[in-house]
Amino acid sequence: MKYRQEHNIIRACTIHMQTEKTKTIVIREWSDCDIVAQCFVFLLAGFETCALRMCFTAQEMMKYEDVQQKLYEGVQQVDIDSDGKELTYEAIMGTKYLDQVVSEV
């Protein structure tokens, strides 16, 4: 925070939005402790929802082996289509059945 203020560094991030001052009024003065607490809440909230979704997905795939096999084959096809290159986020997100499984869970 101090380094950003001293060097006039502006980033499009949560910390900047929380400490940004408008032209007319100060939205809120945040202490370092306040910002750390907010970051912790964001981390915890994001972690819990992702962890729960992964647990429910794993449970459903364990229960329905046909879904697990079809999903595995879809991801394996993406790997084959990549011709040995590293899998990218975009390639995995292009797996329609994966999207359907996650959306269903």
19 vs 33, which has greater pLDDT?
A: 33
Paired tokens of 64: 């329905």
Determine the 3-state secondary structure of 8 from DSSP: coil
The single residue listed with the structure tokens 């900047």 is 16
pLDDT at position 25: 56
Whether residue 15 is predicted with pLDDT greater than 70 in this model: the reply is no
The Cα 35–Cα 44 span in angstroms is 14
For the chain, the structural domain boundaries read: 1-49, 64-105
State the pTM of this model: 0.54
Phi, psi of 86, rounded to the nearest 5 degrees: -65, 135
Whether residue 56 is predicted with pLDDT greater than 70 in this model: the reply is yes
Residue closest to 87 by CA, chosen among 100, 74, 97, 99: 74
Average pLDDT over residues 19-43: 73
**Residue 6, H or E segment:** helix 2-6
